[in-house]
Amino acid sequence: MRPTVYDIAAAAGVSLATVDRVLNQRPGVRIVTREKVEAAIRDIGYVRDVAAANLAKGRVYPLVFILPTGDNSFMHGLYAEVRQAMTRSSLERTEIRIVEVPAFDPPALVAALDALHGQDVAGVALVATDAPEVRAAVNRLVDARIPVVTLVSDLTGSARHHYAGVDNIAAGRTAARLLGRFLGGRKGDITVLAGSMLVRDHRERLEGFAALMAAEFPQLRLLPVLEGRDDPEITSGLVSEALAGSNDIIGIYSLGAGNRGLIRALKATGQGRGLTVVAHELTEHTRAALQDGTIDAVLNQDAGHEVRSAVRVLKATADGQGFIAGQERIRLDIFVKDNLP
Amino acid sequence: MRPTVYDIAAAAGVSLATVDRVLNQRPGVRIVTREKVEAAIRDIGYVRDVAAANLAKGRVYPLVFILPTGDNSFMHGLYAEVRQAMTRSSLERTEIRIVEVPAFDPPALVAALDALHGQDVAGVALVATDAPEVRAAVNRLVDARIPVVTLVSDLTGSARHHYAGVDNIAAGRTAARLLGRFLGGRKGDITVLAGSMLVRDHRERLEGFAALMAAEFPQLRLLPVLEGRDDPEITSGLVSEALAGSNDIIGIYSLGAGNRGLIRALKATGQGRGLTVVAHELTEHTRAALQDGTIDAVLNQDAGHEVRSAVRVLKATADGQGFIAGQERIRLDIFVKDNLP
DNA sequence: AAATTTCTGATTTACGTACATCAGAAATGG
DNA sequence: CCATTTCTGATGTACGTAAATCAGAAATTT
């Protein structure tokens, strides 16, 4: 049988009430007594039964997810996964609220973050926009002892407790490796298609991609990045134009979320050219394109895992508990035609 | 506030005791009354608070993991992960016991499974050896209302509740795709290295691999499979011999766990030949080989995820609960040099 | 040493569920 | 209609912890 609070009390020679005061860091215990109790806790190896504690506390975890507006498939998926998590709220004692802010708008994000002070919030997950003022706002929340995790896009240098997302530099390097190897020594140009270079994850992917390309595939030349703003129309136009303007393009890396436009352009203009294409995010569109051979590989982050991981980490952090690091590492999924789920 | 048993009682116009009888399927309730209570449960949307129920029951989950002996890195990792799970036992209310059986030995596995009957066991996880008598033994456990999940290697056609492992046919196909694409149209021979064709997962990987190769990469010829029994010495010898005997070999697919021997042979014999190599299971050896370029891609299943998933599914099944399917799908990880964790 | 102030102990209630007991009501048999 | 049998209600205890109250002990101040 695992030890309980009664065992601590007996071992330390104090009463239950004192044990409770120590455990829940309530005032009214002399330092000597406190140390005696803490020693007893260590000695008998007590670990608090979180389930029982939560039951007694009637604990619920009011969590806030701050998500950017955005009508691309990935964001839709992310919203859907958060809503999924909401349906499990009663089972998991969470109360999840979504706060929607304009995308790529630091002041709006800062306002949303600052508005949380004083509210009953057990944890905050946000898709970070990389800006000093956002970093400061996050740090203010952490200072106010509110657990914060970044989701999808990190905020390095801030005090956020955890990042639930993939390593985007590694993702870029991996894309370069796949594209380079798939092209098997051929010589030619590579077009990179991004949403916006203002977003940290897009910048990081490009950084990793360009670095590896330069280092290991010198026969492949990177063309200037096309910024499609993750908009199907714009993206489609840019890609069609690029393909029409050059016959040297043999590969495309789409590192943003504008794949609908890319695929449309490829079907219209790219057929029969033997283009090798690596894209990000598995959606119904990229899945279909993988299957029909329009796209050769898709790098993906599982939004469901990211959301569930964020919830677990926020709850654990709110309870002052640790978590299993390996379980919370978000992996970069690589899909080809043959390992689609 | 979420509804409790008291709310059911009030809504159904019965006493708490009757609600309890219905909820825990105890005898002594007329069908009409039972239906009244069940209707109330549906109406008010009651869901049992599992944490409180477990607390009241003093529930612990005695789980049994039946694992094959085997001194390859993957099995070592699997054992380590199960032991890790054991250290979390007190927190998760599990009591995990490992039963070790000889590898590839159906009668021994059957004996281990049958020995569980009558014991206090809340769930069983096993690395299945594919044989009719094993299937029958698993079905006997399921008939005895004991949750069973297969781990790493499945037992299709049995009544096991869940499979915590990867789709090995898809893994073989994915390996073929990567190898085929990495070779970029070159013509030559491919050597396949397996542990033993008696193991289902190895057979399945080969099946998927061979099928896709034949269908999409006809310029690549599959040589007869080398069976290295996952033994470094044997494997190393076989590979060295094969490479020495032919200069047409341009690719290797290692679908088993004998990578230590493979890597040794490659370093001795394969240097400078420009071989493309795809292997299974990320271990310290394959990781180093990926990094120094000896291996080009590694397909991996995360043993930690498999074990944690098995535990979650067994507990949920024992409680008659469902689980989040997406969370329990074990993914095939693809590692190249650039996305190593 | 008396008067405070600061600790500590003892005890109780609660969280939501499980489970047991016993008395009494309802249904069934004759 | 009475005697059974079968169902239902009322009630209490338990699980491990949180939190509150109040009395009394110990330390501190005056």
A4-38 pLDDT, tens digit per residue, is: 999 999 999 999 999 999 999 888 888 888 999 99
Q: Answer yes or no: is pLDDT of B70 > 80.
A: no
pLDDT (0 to 100) of residue B292: 93
Give the DSSP letter of residue A92: H
Cα dihedral A20, A22, A26, A30, rounded to 10, equals: 120
Q: Answer yes or no: is pLDDT of A244 > 80.
A: yes
Strand partners, A94: A61
pLDDT (0 to 100) of residue A185: 85
Cross-chain residue pair B55–A47, CB shorter than 8 Å: no
pLDDT (0 to 100) of residue A270: 66
Residue predicted with more confidence, B92 or B142 = B142
Q: Answer yes or no: is pLDDT of B254 > 80.
A: yes
Q: Which nucleotide is nearest to A57 (CA to C1')?
A: D18
Q: Residue B233 CB: number of other CB atoms within 10 A?
A: 13
Cβ contact A338:B173 at 8 Å = yes
**In angstroms, how far is D5 C1' from B30 CA?**
13
pLDDT single digits (tens) B263-305: 999 998 867 788 999 999 999 999 999 999 999 999 999 999 9
Calpha distance A170→A221 (Å, rounded) = 20
For range A88-117, the mean pLDDT: 92
- Whether residue A44 lies within 8 A of chain B, CB to CB, comes out as no
Calpha distance B80→B303 (Å, rounded) = 9
For range A273-295, the mean pLDDT: 93
- Whether residue B270 lies within 8 A of chain A, CB to CB, comes out as no
Q: Tell me which chain A residues have a C-beta less than 8 angstroms from the C-beta of B339.
A: 167, 170-171, 173-174, 332, 334
pLDDT (0 to 100) of residue B270: 66
Task: State if pTM tops 0.85.
Answer: yes
CA distance B51 to chain A (A): 6
Q: Tell me which chain B residues have a C-beta less than 8 angstroms from the C-beta of A212.
A: 338
For residue B321, what pLDDT band results from cuts at 50, 70 and 90? confident
Mean of the per-residue pLDDT values of chain A = 92
Closest to B293 measured CA to CA, from B277, B312, B313, B311: B277
> Which of B168, B217, B331 would best serve as a mutation to test chain A binding (most A beta carbons within 10 A)?
B331
pLDDT (0 to 100) of residue A208: 97
- Whether residue B2 lies within 8 A of chain A, CB to CB, comes out as yes
| Strand D contact with A5 (CB < 7 A) | yes
Closest to B280 measured CA to CA, from B298, B261, B305, B303: B298
Calpha distance B45→A312 (Å, rounded) = 25
For B47, the closest of A91, A173, A184 (CB atoms) is A91
For residue B195, what pLDDT band results from cuts at 50, 70 and 90? confident
pLDDT (0 to 100) of residue A320: 81
Residue predicted with more confidence, B27 or B182 = B182
Scanning every residue of chain B, which has its alpha carbon at the shortest distance from the alpha carbon of A325?
Answer: B304
Q: Answer yes or no: is pLDDT of B113 > 90.
A: yes
| Strand D contact with B39 (CB < 7 A) | no
Q: Which nucleotide is nearest to B30 (CA to C1')?
A: D7
Distances A284 to A73, A80, A132, B154 between C-alpha atoms, Å: 8, 14, 36, 29
Lay out the sheet containing B162-164: strands in order across: B94-101, B61-68, B123-126, B148-151, B162-164
Lay out the sheet containing A94-101: strands in order across: A94-101, A61-68, A123-126, A148-151, A162-164
Q: Tell me which chain B residues have a C-beta less than 8 angstroms from the C-beta of A177.
A: 336-338
Nucleotides of strand C within 7 Å of the protein's CB atoms: 6-12, 14-21
pLDDT single digits (tens) B71-102: 778 889 999 999 999 998 888 889 999 999 99
For residue A273, what pLDDT band results from cuts at 50, 70 and 90? confident
pLDDT single digits (tens) B304-317: 999 999 999 999 99
Q: Answer yes or no: is pLDDT of A70 > 80.
A: no
Q: Token pair for residue A283? A: 């959606």
Calpha distance A23→A5 (Å, rounded) = 9
CA-based Rg of chain B, rounded to a whole angstrom?
A: 25
Instruction: Indicate the length of chain A as a whole number.
Output: 341
Q: Answer yes or no: is pLDDT of A274 > 90.
A: no
Write A329-332 long-range contacts (CB < 8 A, 24+).
A329/B341, A330/A164, A330/A165, A330/A166, A330/A301, A330/A302, A330/A305, A330/A306, A331/A166, A331/A302, A331/B331, A331/B333, A331/B341, A332/A166, A332/A167, A332/A170, A332/A171, A332/A174, A332/A299, A332/A300, A332/A301, A332/B339
- Whether residue A333 lies within 8 A of chain B, CB to CB, comes out as yes
Closest to B301 measured CA to CA, from B52, B49, B75: B75
- Return chain A residues 48..107 having CB < 7 Å to nucleic acid strand D: 48-49, 52-53, 55-57
Contacts of B321 (CB under 8 A, 6+ apart): B50
Q: Answer yes or no: is pLDDT of B1 > 80.
A: no
pLDDT (0 to 100) of residue B207: 96
Residue A252 carries which side chain, given as an amino acid letter?
A: I
Q: Tell me which chain A residues have a C-beta less than 8 angstroms from the C-beta of B91.
A: 47, 50
Q: Answer yes or no: is pLDDT of A73 > 70.
A: yes
Cross-chain residue pair A308–B329, CB shorter than 8 Å: no
Cross-chain residue pair A334–B329, CB shorter than 8 Å: no
For range A163-190, the mean pLDDT: 95
Q: Which nucleotide is nearest to A27 (CA to C1')?
A: C7
Indicate the pairing of strand A333-335 with strand A276-280: unpaired
Write down the H helix ranges in chain A: 5-12, 16-23, 31-44, 50-57, 73-87, 89-92, 106-114, 132-143, 168-182, 200-216, 232-245, 259-265, 284-291, 303-318, 325-328
Cross-chain residue pair B47–A326, CB shorter than 8 Å: no
Q: Answer yes or no: is pLDDT of A90 > 90.
A: no
Q: Answer yes or no: is pLDDT of A251 > 80.
A: yes
Residue predicted with more confidence, B254 or A326 = B254
pLDDT (0 to 100) of residue A56: 92
Percent of residues, chain A, with pLDDT higher than 70: 100
| Strand D contact with B34 (CB < 7 A) | yes
Exposure string over A292-315, b if 16+ CB within 10 A, otherwise e: eebbbbbbbbbbbbbbbbbbbbbb
CA distance B109 to chain A (A): 30
Percent of residues, chain B, with pLDDT higher than 70: 100
Strand partners, B134: none
Closest to B143 measured CA to CA, from B161, B164, B126: B161
